[in-house]
Amino acid sequence: MESSTKMHTKGLDFYYNDAQALYDISLEFPQNRVTALIGPSGCGKSTFLRCLNRMNDLIPKTRAKGEIMLENMDVFDPALDVVSLRRRVGMVFQKPNPFPKTIFENIAYGMRVNGVRDKALIAERVETSLRQAAIWEEVKDRLNESALGLSGGQQQRLCIARALAVEPEVLLMDEPASALDPIATQKIEELIISLSKALTIIIVTHNMQQAARVSDITAFFYMGKLIEVNNTDTLFTKPELKQTEDYITGRFG
Amino acid sequence: MKQQTIETLVRWAFMAVALFSITALCLIMLFLVFEGVPILKHVSLKEFVFGLYWYPTSDPADFGIFPLVVGSFLVTLLSGVVSIPLGVMTALYLAEIASGRTAEIVKPMVELMASMPSVVIGFFGMVVVAPFIQKTFDIPVGLNLFNASLMLAFMSIPTICSISEDAIFSVPQALKEASFALGATHLETIVRVIVPASISGICTAVILGMSRAIGETMVVLMVAGGAAMIPGSLFDPVRPMPASIAAEMAEAPFGSEHYHALFATGLVLFAFTFVFNLVADYISHRFRQTGEASL
Ligand SMILES: Nc1ncnc2c1ncn2[C@@H]1O[C@H](COP(=O)(O)OP(=O)(O)O)[C@@H](O)[C@H]1O
Ligand SMILES: [Mg+2]
């Protein structure tokens, strides 16, 4: 089943101060597919992911070169309002980071800062997002309690719901399950698969089984370079390069 | 000596020191009560606290400290109105907006200003601010409620600013990133995430900053104007409680009514600062958000 390209990068280089962290990355993300980014720690997966919603703008003395397009929006266009980019490209972080506010306010936050004033609409979307993130049943009776009282796995699903509430088209996830126990991890993985029906998902993971379970496409990064990208099944069964094979079979890591 | 004996000795030593300081404080308290309460033989408690006339040396004398209480209250309130927004906004600027270099230079300067002796601030208020107010607002004297509030505010701002800055700075980067990733602007992130997450630290800063101003004597003695009346405007002189005590203690004969009245004023001042601390403590607990960035 073919799918149009939702987002792509072309010749992307990235620098922290003068240390280059990404080299010439060209990668396409098809619509409604899950793309997994794998590779050893420090190879630039997070850096790459954070380029896609220009989160790296927050780090002083960084600089990017190359092209990133979200459909026909130029992500690096100096005239671009990054707020509008981040509305379309949501992000879930490695460590759950709920605001020290109520569960309801955590989800409503994105709508409020994006100018939604209609109370009924906010309440409705809070519920929809929590349902989408498969956490509604667990929190529906405690929407006005602090989000910090939830378990780690619940907090992470809350953060996913929070990202979904602004109705993004692309969802970036940076090792969203790495801080969680196996049961919470499984819930997140099921969630990713069900969300991909409506969203384009790009997920960083250092867990190969996880990449194999949830993704349609897998890209292998090593030392800031994109080594190989292919359908997940193909990449894991018949990798083209020796380097990829060594990594997925655990010979180096 | 055996290890255990040393332990016991050390424990006793610490207890003795602690006991000594606590006892000394209690004695001061007791002294205040013993010297203050006899005034109630001459006036009722109600007449003393709510009486409108403070003429301790006329015959017959009037011991109504209400104008002094109002003076203290207004000076504290107005200085807070000035110092809280200025201090907190400066802190936000330093922690969130200023470039790293600017913050590095300005922060130590602000901290240095916290150690400015109050007599210097009072002096500045007398010779610089007073004539300025006098000319600008075309009033007969520049020593008044407004001047005193302003000078007290400048005493509190450095403390409020530097402690708030620490609290704001310690808001986890992850929270800010979460906010930005949802499409919030920097300003929205400051208002909706950073300030709420550090509010309990900011409250602590305000308490510490203002408690430096609240019982302050020297500044109000020098610039408040010293008239024991309820002010009708910002530019009327006032006589806050500490100023009254400091100015009159030397001239009040030992054991006289006036002498007891001044101690009783000290008791009321103590109650005043005590209530301030209670309220402040309540507010800072009220806003405490579990776990995040509290001091
Ligand atoms: N804020 C930063 N400042 C400087 N260097 C950084 C920063 N973040 C990451 N790096 C460097 O960039 C490289 C890629 O890091 P990262 O993208 O976090 O890798 P990964 O997510 O694959 O583990 C590493 O060498 C790391 O040390
Ligand atoms: Mg990473």
A247/A251 Cα distance (integer angstroms): 6
Which residues pair with residue A5 across a beta bridge?
A30
| Beta-carbon count within 10 A of A195 CB | 20
Length of chain B, in residues: 295
B175 touches chain A (CB under 8 A): yes
B112 contacts: CB under 8 Å, gap ≥ 6: B158
**Are residues B180 and A148, on separate chains, in Cβ contact within 8 Å?**
no
Minimal C-alpha gap between A234 and chain B (Å)? 33
How far is residue A151's CA from residue A131's CA, in Å, rounded to a whole number? 17
Residue B289 CB partners (closer than 8 Å, separation 6+): A100, A146, A148, B196, B197, B199, B200
Q: Is A109 on the interface with B (CB under 8 A)?
A: yes
B54-55 vs A19-30, strand pairing mode: unpaired
pTM, whole model, 2 decimals? Answer: 0.85
Q: How far apart are CA B42 and CA B36, in angstroms?
A: 12
Closest to B235 (Cα-Cα) out of B243, B224, B222: B224
SS3 assignment, position A146: strand
List A15's β-bridge partners, or say none.
A20, A63
Ligand 1 pocket test: which of A18, A25, A45, A47 has the largest number of ligand atoms within 8 Å of its C-beta? A47
Q: What is the number of residues in chain A?
A: 253
In a mutational test of the A interface, the residue from B182, B190, B195 whose CB has the highest number of chain A CBs within 10 Å is B182
| Distance, CA of B134 to CA of B142 (rounded, Å) | 5
Residue ranges around ligand 1 (CB below 6 Å): A 16, 21, 39, 41-47, 59
Query: Any CB–CB contact under 8 A between A95 and chain B?
Result: yes
Give the model confidence (pLDDT) of B28-81 as tens digits.
Answer: 999 999 999 999 999 999 999 999 999 998 888 899 999 999 999 999 999 999
Q: Which residues surround ligand 2, an ion (CB under 5 A)?
A: A 46
Chain B residues touching residue A53 (CB < 8 angstroms): 181
Name which of A58, A112, A162 is nearest B180 (Cβ-Cβ): A58
Q: Which amino acid is at B29?
A: M
Please say whether the beta carbons of A70 and A170 come within 8 A: yes
Here the tokens at position B294 are 């509290």
Determine the Cα–Cα distance for residues B123 and B109; give it in Å rounded to an integer: 21
- Encode burial over B270-291: b for 16+ CB neighbours within 10 A, e otherwise: bebeeebeeebeeebeeebbee
The three-state secondary structure class of A37 is: strand
Give the whole-angstrom CA distance, residue A150 versus residue B129.
55
Per-residue pLDDT of chain A (253 residues; tens, 9 = 90+): 568 999 999 999 999 999 999 999 999 999 999 999 999 999 999 999 999 999 999 999 999 999 999 999 999 999 999 999 999 999 999 999 999 999 999 999 999 999 999 999 999 999 999 999 999 999 999 999 999 999 999 999 999 999 999 999 999 999 999 888 898 899 899 999 999 999 999 999 988 999 999 999 999 999 999 999 999 999 999 999 999 999 988 876 5
Q: What is the pLDDT of residue B290?
A: 46
Q: Enumerate the β-bridge partners of residue A218.
A: A36, A230
Check if the beta carbon of residue B183 is closer than 8 Å to that of residue A83.
yes
Q: Is the pLDDT score of B292 beyond 50? A: no
What's the pLDDT score for residue B279? 87
Q: What is the CA radius of gyration of chain B?
A: 23
Q: Exposed (0-12), middle (13-18) or buried (19+): which is B14, by Cβ within 10 Å? A: exposed
Q: Which two tokens stand for residue B88?
A: 């907190």
Residue A43 CA: which ligand 1 atom is closest?
22
Q: What would the two tokens of residue A55 be?
A: 């989160």
Quick: pLDDT tens for B84-111.
Answer: 999 999 999 999 999 889 999 999 999 8
B184: contact with A, CB 8 A cutoff: yes
- Provide the pLDDT for residue B207: 87
What residue type is A174 in one-letter code?
D
CB-based contact A122:A109 (threshold 8 Å): no
Burial B53-62 (b: 16+ CB within 10 A, else e): bbebeeeebb
Tens digits of residue pLDDT in B244-271: 999 999 999 999 999 999 999 999 999 9
Give me the CATH topology for the region B45-286. Answer: MetI-like fold (1.10.3720)
Contact list in B for residue A97 (CB cut-off 8 A) is 172, 174-175, 177-178
Domains of chain A with bracketed CATH: 5-248 (3.40.50.300)
CA distance B65 to B52: 7
SS3 assignment, position A8: strand
| β-bridge partners, B211 | none
Q: Would you state the structure tokens that stand for residue A44, as one six-digit string?
A: 């630039």
